[in-house]
Structure 1
Amino acid sequence: MTPRSGWTVGASRTDFDQARLALGNGPAVIRDYVKSMKHYWSEAAFIASVEDGDAAWQVASRFRQLRDDDFVGGFVLREFEQFTAAEVRTWWVHGRCVLVGPHPDTPHDHPSEGIDLGWLAPLIDALGLPFVTADLALRADGVWRVIEVGDGQVSDRPVSIDPAMLIAAAFDEAR
C-alpha cells in the first residue's frame, strides 16, 4: 500500500547503501522511522537518483544532521511516486474510519467526498490499535497510497478541523 521501501537499523553509510541499492534505480525520498524533513525537500528529503551513491548519502547526511537527537531507528527510503493532490489524513477508532480530512500541512485542501477506504479498513483493523491515523495520497494513475500510519502520538490535527468534531467522532465510536 506504500511505495516500494527499504530501511536501515541505525545510520551507517554501509547500511544506507544496502537499502539504497535494494530500491534499484530512480528517485527516492528519505525519512527516519518517525518523521521526514519534507520542508527541506531538496537538501534532506528528495534523492534524485539512488544510483548516485555519493549524492544520495549527502541527502541522508543532511537529513541526519537536521534530525539530530530526534533521529529515530534508521533511514527509510521510499521509491518516489508522483501524487496529484495534497495528502489526506484519516482517523480510525477500533479499526473504523471516523473522520477524513486534510493533512495538517495543507489544512485548507479538503479532500474530495466519497473516498473509498474499504481496501484500507481490514489493514488498519489488523493493527489491533484503539486509535490510528493514516495519511494517504492519490498517485497520478488514480491509485491511493499509504504515506504514513501512526498511533496518534505525533499525529497533529489540521487547524481547519474542529477538535470537538474529532473528539466526538472518536468518543461515539469507542462506545
Structure 2
Amino acid sequence: MILIVPANPLRPRRPDEHFVAEAEAARAAGFQVAVVDHDALARGGDVRRAVASVSGTGAAVYRGWMLRSERYAAFAEALAERGVVLRTTAEQYRRAHELPGWYAALAAVTPASVWSRGSDQADLDQARVALGAGPALLRDYTKSMKHYWDDAAFIPELDDAVAVWTVASRFLELREDDFVGGFVLRRFERFTSAEVRTWWVNGDCVLIGPHPDSPNERPSVEVDLESLAPMIAALLGPPRP
C-alpha cells in the first residue's frame, strides 16, 4: 500500500508539514510514502509531472488537501498510467465529495437540503422556495464559507429573497473560481453536543476524533455507529480489493 500526501511547496521531495506525522506513522507501519504536487493538481496543471515522484505499483490512498472532482479524476488517471490505483475511485470520490452525491444515502441523519444546478438568482430562488421558510445555511456542492458567517453563510429567513441573494452574492465573490456545481441550502440546526469526525474504511468506523475547530471538546453522547454503518456502506458501494 502506498500513502500519497501533498509535497512541501518549499521542499518538494518532502511531505507538506501538515501531513508529516501521518507520513512518518505510515512508514513506521511498513507502508510506502509518496508525495505529489498538490498545487499543480488543484489548478489543472501538468498532472503527469505532478505525480512523477510516485514510484512503485499497486493500491494507494490519497491523504491530502481537497481537490475538485474532475481534478481528482485526472489525478487517478495519471497514477493509473504508472500502475498505481487509488482505492477511492473517481466516481466514489465525487459521490462522497459533492453533497448531491451523498445526500440521499444520509438524508435521515443530516439537515434537510436542496440545491440548484447553477449560480443564477433564479436557480437559488427555486431552491429557496423548495426548502421553505426558516433559517438556513448556504454553501456550494463541496464547501461553505462558515468563517464569513454573517456575510456568506447564515441566512436568518429564507422568505427574505433579497437577503438570501445578498448572502449568495457575497458567497460567490469569496469562492470565485472555486465555486462548485450550484448553491446548496441546508436547514439550520443547532448542535446539541461537540462536533466530531468519523473515519470509515470499507464500511467500518476506524476512528472518531474531535473537529479541528474544537480540538479540546468532547461530545456529551456517544456516536450511534450501528445506525450509521449501513448508510456509509450504501454510499460508497462495494469495497475495492
TM-score (norm 1): 0.70
Paired residue for 1:19, among 127, 130, 144? 127
- Report what 2:89 is aligned to: none
Matched, 1:55 2:160: no
SS in 2 for 1:81: coil
SS in 1 for 2:163: helix
1:109-134 C-alpha deviation (Å, 9 max, x unpaired):
23357422111100101123689xxx
Paired residue for 2:143, among 10, 27, 35? 35
Paired residue for 1:4, among 99, 112, 120? 112
SS in 1 for 2:200: strand
Gaps of 5+ in 1: 132-173
* CA distance in structure 2 between the partners assigned to 1:20 and 1:122 by the alignment: 31
- Report what 2:189 is aligned to: 81
TM-score (norm 2): 0.52
Identical counterparts, % of pairs: 62
* CA distance in structure 1 between the partners assigned to 2:220 and 2:111 by the alignment: 22
* CA distance in structure 2 between the partners assigned to 1:102 and 1:40 by the alignment: 22
Q: Is the 8 A contact 2:194 2:220 kept in 1?
A: no
Structure of higher CA gyration radius: 2
1:40-98 C-alpha deviation (Å, 9 max, x unpaired):
11110000100000001100111111111111111100111121233210000000000
Gaps of 5+ in 2: 1-108
- The one of the two structures with greater contact order (alpha-carbon pairs below 8 A, sep at least 6) is 1
1:116-173 C-alpha deviation (Å, 9 max, x unpaired):
2111100101123689xxxxxxxxxxxxxxxxxxxxxxxxxxxxxxxxxxxxxxxxxx
Q: Is the 8 A contact 1:101 1:111 kept in 2?
A: no
Q: Is the 8 A contact 1:30 1:78 kept in 2?
A: yes
Q: 1:70 to 1:129 in 2, by over 3 A?
A: farther
Matched, 1:121 2:229: yes
Q: Is the 8 A contact 2:139 2:145 kept in 1?
A: yes
* CA distance in structure 2 between the partners assigned to 1:17 and 1:34 by the alignment: 20
* CA distance in structure 2 between the partners assigned to 1:130 and 1:92 by the alignment: 13
Higher helix share: 2
* CA distance in structure 1 between the partners assigned to 2:222 and 2:193 by the alignment: 15
Paired residue total: 133
- Report what 1:102 is aligned to: 210
Q: What is the alpha-carbon root mean square deviation over aligned residues? A: 2.0
